[in-house]
Chains A and B, each alone.
Chain A
Amino acid sequence: MRLLCVSLTVALAMVVAGCSKPPDEVAKEARQSAASWAATLSAAAERWGNGEVSSSYFQTVVTQARTSLRKEAQTARKSAGDAAAAPVNAVALRAEAIANAVQRGDRAAAIEAGHAAASEVPAEKIPAVARPQ
């Protein structure tokens, strides 16, 4: 029981210690999230263009991306300023364009906007065989 109390105290101390996250860390995470969503939108748009995924699924991806990006931009702006939120906003803008393309049923425009998002905030590609340290 004593061991458990000590462990819980350590955990609580770590929570308190970790409360203030450095702004550059917040900015880095915001960029990573934006890049991942940009890559997702690009891949999903291409699949939708080829008829490999349904319109309802693609719409779901776009909606989810817009919701996540909106939250991410708010967090980044609050903790690290407008500059940190800029890449997130850029991808969010492209997501908006894709959403409009989906509504029009314009597959070519969706693919183009997806590619634009991916090239605007390029994602770090993780090789299947990551090099361990």
Chain B
Amino acid sequence: MKGLMNVALGIVTSIGGFLDVGAIATAALAGAAFGMQMLWVLALGTLCVMYLTEMAGRLACVSHHSLVDAVRERCGFRYFSFLLIGELLVDLLVLAAEIGGVAVALHLVTGIDYRWFAPIVAFGLWILIWLGTFSIVQNGASLLGLITLAFVVGMWWMGPPWHEAMKAIVPSSPSHDAAKYWFIAVGIIGSLFEPFMLNFYSSGAIEEKWSLKDIRMNRVTAVLGMGFGAMIAASIVMLSALTLGPHGIQVDSYEQAALMMVQPFGSWGIPLFAACLGIACFGASLQVALNLSYLFAQGFGWNWSENLRPHDDARFALVYTLAIPIGAILVIVLGDPLKITTFSMALNALLAPVIVFPLLILMNDRHYVREYRNHAVGNIFVSAIVVIAFLIAIVAIPLEVLGG
């Protein structure tokens, strides 16, 4: 019974990890601009991220190393420094996008400028991490994140054409506006392959002392958790395709995206959208901020655990204490949270190979994972998706940035 509870909690946690500002924004953009046509990107990316998450958990179960810890040990400090700089920059931008998401959610229900909320959200985040334990931070936010099932209910209520939706799982080229199509595709992949998520997942496994006996639970959690998360993201694509695109509404701001919930839920629509966005982003910003601390602490060999009191791992606490206000300042300075989000998700796709390839090396290294190594098919599948996403990102990012 306890095992079943752990699996259920793990799945809920994974949904929380999956659905964040990036997933919501890119799915809404895709649905409004291209109907259901981009569901295949989500399906392909989900298969890949299920496998990657499972790998990160398996590494922790067998080797008792978190991902960053093992990468530094296996690839050396020089490579780790490169990874550290890349992930620091991208994670700070993602943190800003998540804080911006919570601030926009509050702005949607109050009408007050979102910039005023950024410092308040940042303080709330910091105090929760400072006072909370890993399970409070992780499970509390994830359980609240179940509200995002409202997207599934809304999509169901709209009565989507299931047959056409199933057809959209087969890859297809854009019907119009190729640069935008591929930029959104990269954004969707980037929102799935968020490097912070892999290290956060493996660090969580260490925090919760996973061992060989948890390998099966890890597999179930990765597959079902990511699967449920993908189902919610697919619901957003479909809801947006059914309610925004047919009216000619494109998603250039969160205010426009929020309209997708009004048709199925009436006057509850905007508050529900705001609650989904706010809670999902708050949960994800806790994870990103903590991951930055894990990154530094594991890389430099400091004491680390969210379960320790801050004075027992002062440098770990210092990193998130600095990162959170920087994220809030970025929201205020850069403005337009939706643009920060789409750009940071595309950068995630650029950074993905830097973390995924060392993970693949580790997962084929008998010294780390003994007989629990990867199959060749999985290695090839993950490598191909990551390389393709990286190449598309290189082409699509400049095109889309210059295109505004």
A residues in contact (CB < 8 Å) with B: 7, 10-11, 14-15, 18-19, 21, 25, 29, 32-33, 35-37, 39-40, 42-44, 47, 51-54, 56-57, 59-61, 64, 68, 75, 118, 122-133
Contacts and interface: CB of A to CB of B under 8 A. Distances in A.
| A interface, over-half SS | helix
5 contacts: A7-B390, A122-B248, A128-B161, A130-B245, A132-B37
Given A7-B394, A11-B397, A53-B270, A47 B175 contact: no
B378 interface: no
Contacts of A132: 37, 172-175
B35 interface: yes
Contacts of B399: 14, 18
B35 A128 contact: yes
Interface of B: 32-37, 107-111, 160-161, 164, 167-168, 172-175, 238, 241-242, 245-250, 252-253, 255-256, 258-259, 262, 266-267, 269-270, 390, 394-395, 397-399, 401-404
A130 B37 contact: yes
Contact of B248 (A10, A25, A39, A57): A39
Given A18-B399, A36-B250, A59-B111, A127 B270 contact: no
A113 to B, nearest CB: 17
A25 B275 CA distance: 38
Nearest to A28: B177
B252 A68 contact: yes
Max chain B CB contacts within 10 Å: which of A32, A35, A36, A118? A36
Nearest to B31: A128
B246 A128 contact: yes
Given A32-B250, A35-B248, A53-B270, A126 B398 contact: no
A51 B248 CA distance: 22
Given A52-B267, A57-B108, A125-B247, 18 more contacts: A33-B250, A40-B259, A43-B259, A44-B259, A52-B266, A52-B269, A54-B270, A56-B109, A57-B255, A75-B404, A118-B248, A125-B245, A125-B246, A126-B33, A126-B34, A126-B241, A128-B160, A130-B36
A40 B250 CA distance: 8
Contacts of A21: 402-403
B34 A15 contact: no
A36 B248 CA distance: 6
Contact of B247 (A14, A43, A130): A43
B249 A40 contact: yes
A126 B245 contact: yes
A122 B252 CA distance: 17
Max chain A CB contacts within 10 Å: which of B160, B394, B401? B394
B190 to A, nearest CB: 15
B259 A131 contact: no
A130 B35 contact: yes
Max chain A CB contacts within 10 Å: which of B246, B253, B399? B253
A43 B249 contact: yes
B269 A128 contact: no
Nearest to A35: B248
B179 to A, nearest CB: 10
A36 B249 contact: yes
A126 B35 contact: yes
A25 B402 CA distance: 12
A15 B246 CA distance: 33
Nearest to B38: A130
A31 B156 CA distance: 33
B46 to A, nearest CB: 20
A10 B394 contact: yes
A52 B266 CA distance: 5
A14 B256 contact: no
Nearest to A25: B403
